[in-house]
Amino acid sequence: MTEARTLGALKSSGFEVLSVRNEMRKNLISKLKNAEHIFPGIIGYQDTVIPQMQNAILSGQDIILLGERG
């Protein structure tokens, strides 16, 4: 695919602007369909936090992460 150089070329290419929420949902659905690892690098939360994050992303809810950094 070539890079669009004008707004008209971008519109005619079928590019769709998505909100971050919708793009996250679309990417998560794609990963779930392809049986990919959802959050690589996050260890120890497979039964608690990760399912809740998936549900929140799929349903389009606001997400607030609390806790210490790191």
> Any idea where the domains of the chain sit in the sequence?
18-70
Please give the chain's pLDDT, 70 residues, in tens: 578 889 888 888 888 889 999 999 999 999 999 999 998 888 888 898 899 999 999 999 999 988 887 6
pLDDT of residue 3: 85
**How is the chain split among helix, strand and coil, in percent rounded to 5?**
45, 0, 55
Q: Measure the CA–CA gap between 17 and 65, rounded to whole angstroms.
A: 26
pLDDT of residue 1: 55
pLDDT of residue 70: 64
Q: What pTM did the predictor assign?
A: 0.73
The answer to whether 4 touches 13, Cβ cutoff 8 Å, is yes
